[in-house]
Amino acid sequence: MKHPLRPRPRQKDPPIVSTPSSLPHRALVVGATGIAGSAVRDRLLVDGWPVTTLSRSAGAAVEGTTHVQADLRSATDLERALRDEHPTHVFFTAWSRQETEAANIDVNAGMLRDLLAALKHTRVEHVALMTGLKHYLGPFEAYAAGEMADTPFHEEEPRLPVNNFYYAQEDELWAAAARQGFAWSVHRAHTVVGHAVGNAMNMGSTIAVQATISREFNRPFIFPGSETQWNGVTDMTDAGLLADQMVWAASTPGVENQAYNIANGDIFRWRSMWPRLAAYFGVEPEGFVGEPRPLDTQMADAESEWRSIAEKYDLIEPDSTRLASWWHTDGDLGRNIEVMTDMSKSREAGFLGYRRTERSFTELFNRLRVERLIPGATEQPTRG
């Protein structure tokens, strides 16, 4: 049975805009402290782009970038901050979690609308927007609750009959493209594995914190999700691969004005992946047994336990809530449906990037160790 809510109507069909790249490229990355935005920023820097980042905070200095401080929820502040900026390409990866989907629509579609309006004084050539598979699954409050397309999901699937801030953001993107004459792309990622501190949706570091606590207190490493997720086939998205696709779509003639799925290209089952992640951390894996065992319950004492671990091993982040998002990983792994996405559209268009998901995890874990966010494999306590 379909969900009773009706979709937010589109203002018009997406525009087909041609904007030849006659200007020197200059990027504006919105959300550059997050998993996706930081990967986009780093990819652009490697490619030699001048990069400006925008966030509400002052932002840590990153070599090769300039930073603009502005409140994305304030049209006036965005106008002030961007009046002297002239990006040719905008990469929008920011979002703000709200209590209801109506509020998500109001805030997140509004942030994109106001940011693009604040750039109406300059010639923007391309805007790349990151969304996700909730485009096919529905928003948090109606997640996988109605009739959905079969997996793997394809970009041409019609919108679900439910209000969804991803739909609202697309509508704002298309309306601004029609007014301002820029090309666009939309990038629908599955669960993203990447590096960020203080991010609200971060399965990789969430698993790292769970496994570290399991090892420290000699507990099993318990899979928190459903039987369907434990046994079924799924995929994920490496943040670096997402960045590669966003830059490719923004800078390759002939592939613009499209929505693209983005996933690593491999598929796996958690019943095989979980023991391999456990082996990395040296903990005993425990799979699905009878019913889901959510992390929100498993990790009820995580804040105090993590503070003790951080002090013992001299880690730089004692606040577990800045590394782990139990609710988000519970949502992903608790689903009772198979979720994976088709990558044929962008492959046929020429994007052939690929990542092995297990390596996405282990490379992230290695980086977390190097940066003193989790203890090393054989590390001895520095205190206590």
Q: Which residues are catalytic?
A: 134, 166
Task: For residues 290 and 225, give the distance between their C-alpha atoms in angstroms, rounded to a whole number.
Answer: 11
Three-class DSSP category at 78: helix
Detail the DSSP E strand segments found in the chain.
Answer: 27-30, 51-55, 65-69, 89-92, 126-132, 183-189, 192-193, 221-222, 233-234, 237-238, 258-262, 268-269, 285-286
Nearest to 164 by CA among 93, 216, 113, 109: 109
Q: Residue 171: CB partners within 8 Å, gap ≥ 6? A: 8, 10, 11, 109
Give me the helix-helix angle, 203-216 and 270-281, nearest 10°. 50
- Neighbouring-strand partners of residue 221: 285
Instruction: Render the burial of 360-378: b for 16+ CB within 10 Å, e for the rest.
Output: bbebbbeebeeeebbbeee
User: What are the respective helix, strand and coil percentages of the chain, to the nearest 5?
Assistant: 40, 15, 45
Cα(first)–Cα(last) distance of the chain, in Å? Answer: 58
The span from the CA of 317 to the CA of 310, in Å, is 7
| Residue 384, C-beta contacts closer than 8 angstroms, at least 6 positions apart | 311, 312
Q: Which residues contact 202 (CB under 8 A, 6 or more apart)?
A: 35, 194, 196, 323, 324, 325, 328
